[in-house]
Amino acid sequence: MKKFIIRMAINAVAFYVALAVLSNHGINPQSEDWYSYLLLALIFGAINATVRPLLMFLTCPLIVLTLGLGTLLVNTLMFYLAGLAGSYFQVGFSVDGFWPAFLGALIVSVVSVVLSVFLKDEMEGRRKSKKRH
């Protein structure tokens, strides 16, 4: 449960950064409160858990052919779908084209990876013990 909460917080922060950087540059957020970002992170997690594996399977030849760069297209689609699904619940954002969605997905991915590295110990449930001499 702790890992789930940390993952949701990381995704919420990643979406906040992406929408703050790209606001009025092809991405228009519908809401600006923290609750919206948490709900958007939950929607994004649900979409990633359900739709992403199917897309990865279907685009496997493209991903292999492009040496993994096709994954960026899948991430772009996931970002766009998260905004679209979030708009249905009035917590999402609208995307004006491919490049804003691509940049948003790239920002979310980078921020998520960086925060995951910093919070790796908390996500694995390890406790740091102090050495006594």
pTM for the model stands at 0.85
- Any domain includes 126: no
Range of the domain at 48: 2-23+35-120
* Domain assignment of residue 14, yes or no: yes
In a domain, 69, yes or no: yes
Whether 131 is covered by a domain: the verdict is no
Statement: residue 132 has pLDDT above 90: no
Residue 41 lies in a domain: yes
* Domains: count for the chain: 1
Mean pLDDT to the nearest integer, 110-117 = 94
User: Is a pLDDT exceeding 70 seen at residue 112?
Assistant: yes
Place of tokens 């929607």: 43
* Domain contains 127: no
